[in-house]
Structure 1
Amino acid sequence: MAVEEASYVVISQDKPFEIREYAPHVIAETLVEGNMENVSNKAFMKLFRYISGSNVSRSKVAMTAPVSQQSIGEKIPMTAPVAQQRVDEKWLVSFTMPKSSTLSTLPQPEDASITLRQVPAQRMAVVRYSGMWSEKNYLNHELELVAWMKKMGLTPTGNAVWARYNPPFTPWFLRRNEVMIPVHS
């Protein structure tokens, strides 16, 4: 089943790395505590209930990709559609809303821990990989991306984001995962 993805343009490519320019978009996000691998299910279910009609107007919102997770530091940078980051075992997990959505047209969440936020256009350095959703895989690919960025003279402007595009029943070798780091335009 095809799922809408966040809009971006590839500015440059050096397989498996890319520089992408993301269009402005709206996200629904929630902050959860726990380790990297366990927070995903907890946050996913909260956000899934929201798009399934657990909102003020009981409206359904189409599922999109990716699901993002990002750890929270001193400052929360604007994030890509689906990401994961960690600081002190707190993670910001988000769903990208459909392209036609705006803050004024989306239903308000009933769950006070879910917020809707407009993300401005941003440039991201990205590495794409397949495999299991594990902290080890994420950290290995984050290190590769950081090394490539250093080689290319790119300066990060925020924390790394973990983006996942497939449902959990997708075989590990077919999964699309990405590590994304915001960079100067």
Structure 2
Amino acid sequence: MLGRRLHSPAGYTSLAGQHAQRPRSRRLNVSVRAANAARPPQVQILENSSRNTHEPPPTTQAAAEFLRQELKTIFRTGEITASRYARGIVFEDPITRISDINAYQLMIRAIKTLFNVAFDLHDVTITKPDEVTTTWTMSLKAWELPWQPTLLFSGRSFYKVDSGGTIISHRDVWDAVDNNAFLSPEAVAEVLRQLLQLQITPGLETPAYTVLKAARDYELRRYQPYIVAETAMPSGSTPAGGAGFNDLAGYIFGGNSNQQSMEMTTPVFTRSPAQAGAAGDSSGSGEVTMQFVLEKKFADVDELPQPNSRKVRRKQLPGSFCAAARFSGFAFDWEVKDAERKLRAALAKDGLQAKPGYSLARYNEPWVPPPLRRNEVLLELVDFEWP
């Protein structure tokens, strides 16, 4: 499971697009960062205490670099570089098992055909002399189904490499299930749960984030900085309330110094005070605020027109790591508090700590039926780094 910081397994390496010179007298861990990471791909070398030198074979290093490039395009093109895989390659994940390169290629093509795929490669690591491990997140929008559900998985792939650098096996494990054996009932149930998820996400602009981990009960996200219009809600309000909406709507629909109308975005955030209790009790000091996310075309707060109302503030929010738990319904106070309680318990089980207070994100218009609504509780993580 994911802890506060993801470490390469002790004793072997992760590889970037170029190879660093390696001293002969020390054991190496070399880390590869994917193109979508916060910084460009680079090689990090960490010394271990072992007195022996354990460099991975050049063929395994070459396989790691190949996979780093291959996985950037494989789901966009639907094609594999067949010469780098064994004819009898064995693939297994919790719902699929094949043992032929033609079936492996057909699987990749089927994924590209049946789904709109977004694949984020987080890390490529040499974990054994003959093994390369990748860490990833993958979303699959089933566009042919009428309700177009999006399946979201994260996990690790273990690639075995022979002495010539050919990939002979590929095994996936998912973060959302404990039993990753083939045809695990838990995994089948997870796929069905996601396929039957009916919540609607409007096609509006939303804050940019990357899902780093899709666990059973929550998503771990890295949010990029974004700008909001914010107003304090009346004393005694809870995040599930709606007071403040009209003030913010007035601002974006022309109630500003430029009489400028702005596009609607999603979600509407309401945030409890940082001093609030774990169950969302907002009786402590501080204020409950409501926020509208503003369009990305505004790169800086100073580019925004001044609000006509003194109740409305413009605010730049920094990037952050958050855990998010989704639920449907009206988002009544008791539903929100229950979602927060369950999320904190799931994070504690995985060794993660969240700050006091929480945010409620509501994505839909008031007339959307409760079973189709997308609501989320978000908790900002404490002292979290990735990787």
Into which bin does the TM-score normalised by the smaller protein fall? Answer: 0.7 to 0.9
| 1:32 equivalenced with 2:229 (yes/no) | no
Q: Which residue of 1 aligns with 2:222?
A: 21
Q: How does 1:1-185 map to 2 (within 5 A)?
A: 2-33=203-234, 34-36=236-238, 39-40=241-242, 42-73=243-274, 86-88=282-284, 90-101=287-298, 102-183=300-381, 184-185=384-385
Aligned length in residues: 176
Distance 1:15 1:38, change over 3 A: closer
Report which stretch shifted further, 142-151 or 98-107: 98-107
CA distance in 1, matches of 2:315, 2:281: 17
Unaligned 5+ residue runs, structure 2? 1-201
Checking the alignment, whether the CA contact within 8 Å between 1:29 and 1:95 is kept in structure 2 is yes
Distance 1:13 1:21, change over 3 A: same
What TM-score do you get using the length of structure 1 for normalisation?
0.87
CA distance in 1, matches of 2:281, 2:206: 20
- Structure 2 counterpart of 1:155, which letter? Q
Unaligned 5+ residue runs, structure 1? 76-83
CA distance in 1, matches of 2:213, 2:288: 30
User: Which string of whole-angstrom CA distances, capped at 9 and with x for unpartnered residues, describes residues 107-145 of structure 1?
Assistant: 111111111111111000110111112001101100110
CA distance in 2, matches of 1:85, 1:169: 28
CA distance in 2, matches of 1:38, 1:7: 23
What's the CA shift for 1:147?
0.1
What's the CA shift for 1:45?
0.8
CA distance in 2, matches of 1:74, 1:175: 28
CA distance in 1, matches of 2:237, 2:326: 22
What's the CA shift for 1:72?
2.3
- Structure 2 counterpart of 1:86, which letter? S
Q: Which has the higher contact order (CA 8 A, sep 6+)?
A: 1
User: Which string of whole-angstrom CA distances, capped at 9 and with x for unpartnered residues, describes residues 4-35 of structure 1?
Assistant: 11110000011331100001100110001233
Distance 1:100 1:47, change over 3 A: same
Distance 1:37 1:24, change over 3 A: closer
Report which stretch shifted further, 149-158 or 131-140: 149-158
Checking the alignment, whether the CA contact within 8 Å between 2:275 and 2:356 is kept in structure 1 is no
Over the matched positions of the two proteins, sequence identity in percent amounts to 30
Pick the structure with greater CA Rg.
2
Checking the alignment, whether the CA contact within 8 Å between 1:51 and 1:59 is kept in structure 2 is yes
What TM-score do you get using the length of structure 2 for normalisation?
0.43
Distance 1:74 1:172, change over 3 A: closer
